[in-house]
Structure 1
Amino acid sequence: MGTALALLACTTHAAEPDAPKVPEYALDTSWPKLPLPNHWALGLINGIYVDAHNHLWLYHSPELVPKYALGAAQNPPTGKCCVAAPAIIEFDEAGNVLRAWGGPEDAKVQGYDWPTAGHGLYVDYKGNIWIGGSQTRVAADGSPPDGLYLKFSPDGKFLLQIGGKGPSKGSLDTTMLSGAAAVDVDPATNEAFIADGYGNHRVIVFDADTGEFKRQWGAYGKPPTDLKIPRYDGGPTLPKQFNLVHCIRIAKDGLVYVCDRLNDRLQVFKKDGTFVTEHVYEPMTRGSGSVGNVSLWPDEKQTFMVMNDPGNFQTVILRRSDLSEVARFGHYGTWAGEYHRNHQMEFDLKGNIYTSEDHRVQKLRIVNGVTP
């Protein structure tokens, strides 16, 4: 079963002659299978990603499950519901939970730093899981900033830590991150490209197995800077510095897409950091910005991209060849099919879209027969 709430809100732009037909979507209410097992409850959802098996991986913060929802976790229990789910959960295509692991207690056992404020999940070409953290200053409870990215096996074995806990050392330092938001690993070089963007203002690249620093760049491929530059005001002059580097995605043809969220733009680079082009979307958007993340359509040419627009509570379909919009839909709300603090959107291997919000993931299925 599904509802056409998302589809009915869709605005499709005029297509060029012979242009590929654009997919249209409606909410799939059958995903995931509910309730979750073991009386699990979710905290803030930090990241989602679809792997090579078409499985959805979800990363959330168990420590942020509301206390009123943890009755079953008390000793003695104060209610039948609930307990915090492990931090990393794998779902199959039908929405069944396959495995789950991770969290601060696992970090203590295996001897690595767990993110204070989790952010981003990525599954690399070897099946390994990457997560980061977005906190950039000491919190009210004394918890330290996040200057790290972590890599695990699919079963949760700790493999690599890049950086560590603590304050930023600046956007030119190669030993620490600062509020890193996302990562993509290039199969051709086994390099990890990190969007180091909540605190720093750069893309930084490391060897994905050793953590050895390779290179870095800021907006327009220039050296990154920490100068206090205002966010984009919608005018003709675009900022020369990133303002919240929130996503990074590498296409099959080697182009690297970087979301400059609070500047409402997508910048494109070669893998060596050479600037190629940029595109601004909804330039008068303030608040959360209009360019949250992008995901690539799973055909050979990666014809389309889906872009999350958090400032306008919308899903945007782009034509990758020229970064133009071909469809836009969605609006604010807490009902099924609406968006509440939409944070990330990802294509699966069939072109369906998963969307994440603070405490839920929704699946949008294709309804007009378009296939990758």
Structure 2
Amino acid sequence: MIGKRRDFMSTVSIGDHRYELDDSWPNIPEGWTLGNGWAGPNVPVPYNWFAIGITDVAADSNDRIYVCNRDKHPVVVFEAESGDFVTSWGEHEFKEAHGIHVDSEDNVWTTDRQDHVTVKHDKYGKVLLELGNRGWANAAVSPFGTHPNHNFLGGPFCMPAGVSTASTGAAFVADGYGNRQVHRFSAKGELELSWGVSGTGEGEFSLVHNVDIDSQDRVYICDRESDRIQVFDYDGNFLHSWTDFLYPGGVHCDRDNLVYIAEQGPAGRGRDNGFSIYTESGEVVTRVRRPFSEKPPQPHGICTDSKGNIYLAQLPSLKKADLDHKVSKFVKIH
């Protein structure tokens, strides 16, 4: 079981609403853990900081929450209201689970950062479509920085990080750690469009960490190492850039076109990590800082359910095995 949470701020105000941290959510099966080590075969590194953590969350149309994590059970599903365990899957699929998204038909999309694939599943985990070549990377830049000689376009994928779908059924993949591009695939899995190069200008990326699509098919990209969200239209044309974030690791657009951003940290750069909520026009609704503890974990993914409750996926706060990562639920009070 995950250890008892240190609840330093149980209630937060967000605009006209108040939220309470539900410290009892979710109900993890006895003897299970979430995010305590890679689920992939032949990777026995339970205390490698890069191989632990709860990486992303997503909600389906029935308010079931899909938790993507690095452990023996990479995808774990809970009831949003009660936190009760529903099912798990992916036990023999992932090398390193990273991103998760549930589309309008309740299909579940995932990214595997180390196996270089993006996969569409049904809600039971059956593979419906696989994008990329498993185990093969097409690198455009170094995973941990850029180099002038490596600033060229790379095809899908090299360490893909996130995925989302548009109203057309097209899938957009944030690619990622070893590439600096966004790829659009048709509903059938055909590559239609790619854009992005390494850099800090409009339409350039330092690290393409996650993606979500709003009701108007606008594409929101976490350009994490540049501390910004870049917004594009369906065809990859630049629209806006939102700045003043602290390592935006996750982005989620709700039914009211509010945009939720998980700000990962790291702490010690002058601001605390946490999450922010924006309108679709880029106006700040609120910023929530240090909502958990004196040593906060790093919010890495974010989603909401149909009642407006907020879920955060978190990595450890430090590069050591203190295992303070978790998945947290903020219950909307009013």
- Shared fold by TM > 0.5? yes
| Helix, strand or coil at the partner of 1:168 | coil
The equivalent residue for 2:194 is 216
2:279 is aligned with 1:319: yes
Q: 1:49 aligns with which of 58, 74, 89?
A: 58
Residue of structure 2 equivalent to 1:31: 25
Residues 136-285 of structure 1: matches in 2 within 5 Å?
A: 146-164=115-133, 165-170=135-140, 172-174=153-155, 176-187=156-167, 189-209=168-188, 211-218=189-196, 225-226=197-198, 229=199, 238=201, 241-282=204-245
Aligned to 1:361: 327
Give me the whole-angstrom Cα distance separating, in 2, the residues matched to 1:291 and 1:193. 18
8 A Cα contact 1:181 1:245, kept in partner: yes
Residue type of the alignment partner of 1:259: C
* CA distances 1:277-322 after superposition (whole Å, capped 9, x unpaired): 112114xxxxxx43222222333xx2x222111123112121222x
1:58-207 aligned at under 5 Å gives the runs 58-62=67-71, 84=72, 86-93=73-80, 94-104=82-92, 107=93, 114=94, 116-135=95-114, 146-164=115-133, 165-170=135-140, 172-174=153-155, 176-187=156-167, 189-207=168-186
Residue 17 of structure 2 aligns to a residue whose secondary structure is coil
The offset of 1:185, in angstroms, is 1.3
| Aligned residue type for 1:327 | T
The answer to whether the aligner puts 1:310 opposite 2:264 as a matched pair is: yes
Question: Which residue is 2:32 aligned to?
Answer: 40
Q: Cα RMSD (Å) of the superposition?
A: 2.3
* Cα distance between partner residues in 2 of 1:328 and 1:184: 24
The one-letter amino acid paired with 2:31 is H
Q: Once the 2 structures are TM-superposed, how far is the Cα of residue 6 of structure 1 from its aligned partner?
A: 4.8
Q: Answer whether contact 1:298 1:347 (CA < 8 A) is retained.
A: no
SS at match of 2:225: helix
Contact kept, 8 Å, 1:50 with 1:346, in 2: the verdict is yes
The answer as to whether partners of 1:6 and 1:329 remain within 8 angstroms in 2 is: no
- Number of the residue aligned with 1:68: none
Residues 344-359 of structure 1: matches in 2 within 5 Å?
Answer: 344-358=301-315, 359=325
Name the CA shift for 1:173/1:315 in 2 (closer, same or farther; >3 Å): closer
CA contact (8 A) 1:181 1:195 kept: yes
User: Aligned-pair distance for 1:172?
Assistant: 3.1
Flag the 1:332–1:23 CA change in 2: closer, same or farther, 3 A.
Answer: closer
Cα contact 2:56–2:302 (8 A) shared by 1: no
Shift of residue 167 of structure 1? 2.8
CA distance in 2, matches of 1:308, 1:254: 21
Aligned counterparts of 1:172 and 1:160: Cα–Cα separation in 2: 24
Q: Distance in 1 between matches of 2:154 and 2:176?
A: 14
Shift of 1:334: 4.9
Shift of the alpha carbon at 1:25? 2.0
Superimposed CA distance per residue, residues 45-83 of structure 1 (whole angstroms, 9 cap, x where no aligned partner): 232101111110012222xxxxxxxxxxxxxxxxxxxxx
- Separation of aligned partners in 1, 2:21 and 2:292: 14
Gaps in structure 2 of 5+ consecutive residues:
1-6, 36-52, 141-151, 266-271, 316-324
Q: How many residues in Structure 1 have an aligned counterpart in Structure 2?
A: 283
Distance 2:102 2:21 in 1: 25
Shift of 1:166: 2.3
| SS of residue in 2 equivalent to 1:214 | strand
* Identity value in percent: 30
SS in 2 for 1:351: coil
CA distance in 2, matches of 1:360, 1:128: 24
The structure that has the greater radius of gyration is 1
Judge conservation of contact 1:7–1:329 (CA < 8 Å) in 2: no
Aligned residue for 1:132, secondary structure, equals: strand
Describe the SS at the equivalent of 2:11: helix
TM-score (norm 2): 0.77
TM-score, normalised via structure 1 length: 0.70
1:328 aligns with 2:328: no
Structure 1 gaps, min length 5? 13-20, 63-83, 108-113, 136-145, 219-224, 233-237, 283-288
SS at match of 1:357: strand
- Give the Cα–Cα distance (whole angstroms) in 2 for the partners of residues 4 and 199 of structure 1: 37
Which residue of structure 1 lines up, in the alignment, with residue 48 of structure 2? Answer: none
